[in-house]
């Protein structure tokens, strides 16, 4: 479609295809991003779930870490799910030795907060910013947000108050995997940030 937003999915590791399919279904032109020149050609970026430490290492091996950090600092709309949320956090409270993040969100995140893959679970979340119906959320070895800065909006929390979805400016992060359940509203929100930025350009 002419005039469609061009949204990248960071394709170093993780559930890349699911995000790409969902974005394409929303009318976006999707690009798989592995190199700095591919990053420079997109209007928004999804950082998928996977292994945050592996994506971190591969981003450095592919020369992607600094370009991603610069793009975030420059206002590129980015949505991170699960591992992607960890990589957007300014602070990882229990990262493996040497683990780094891209940063950009004034939050602290704890990895694998709910335990191993066998302790994955599904629930329904009220997300007032997205309206009704509730979001069907799948948590797979999911992180949680343990601290938020004053400019961070909490979009969703579990009944015990555990924060699982946040937004700061044009950065969006969820502990869970909307793409697994066909939930499109977070990706639509990313596309809205992309549209708003293009109108300001």
Q: What are phi and psi of 19, to 5 degrees?
A: -65, -40
Residue closest to 137 by CA, chosen among 158, 118, 107:
158
Active-site hit among 18, 19, 167, 177? 177
Q: Residue 179 catalytic?
A: yes
Q: What is the rounded CA–CA span in Å between residue 112 and residue 96?
A: 12
Q: What is the rounded CA–CA span in Å between residue 37 and residue 45?
A: 13
Q: What is the rounded CA–CA span in Å between residue 177 and residue 16?
A: 12
Active-site hit among 179, 183, 187, 193? 179
Burial class (CB in 10 A: 0-12, 13-18, 19+), 159: exposed
Q: Which residues are catalytic?
A: 82, 177, 179
């Amino acid at each position: 479609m002419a005039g469609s937003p061009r949204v990248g999915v960071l394709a170093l590791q993780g559930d890349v295809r699911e995000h790409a399919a969902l974005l394409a279904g929303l009318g976006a032109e999707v690009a798989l991003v592995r190199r700095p020149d591919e990053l420079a050609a997109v209007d928004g970026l999804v950082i998928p779930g996977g292994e945050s430490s592996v994506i971190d290492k591969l981003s450095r091996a592919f020369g992607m870490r600094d370009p991603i950090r610069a793009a975030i600092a420059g206002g590129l709309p980015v949505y991170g799910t699960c591992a992607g949320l960890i990589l957007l956090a300014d602070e990882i409270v229990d990262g493996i030795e040497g683990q780094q993040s891209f940063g950009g969100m004034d939050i602290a995140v704890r990895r694998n907060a709910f335990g191993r893959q066998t302790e994955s679970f599904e629930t329904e979340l009220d997300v007032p910013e997205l309206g009704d119906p509730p979001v069907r959320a799948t948590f797979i070895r999911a992180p949680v947000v343990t601290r938020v800065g004053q400019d961070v909006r909490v979009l969703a929390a579990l009944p015990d108050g555990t924060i699982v979805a946040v937004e700061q400016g044009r950065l969006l992060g969820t502990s869970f995997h909307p793409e697994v359940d066909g939930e499109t509203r977070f990706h639509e929100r990313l596309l809205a940030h992309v549209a708003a930025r293009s109108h300001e350009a």
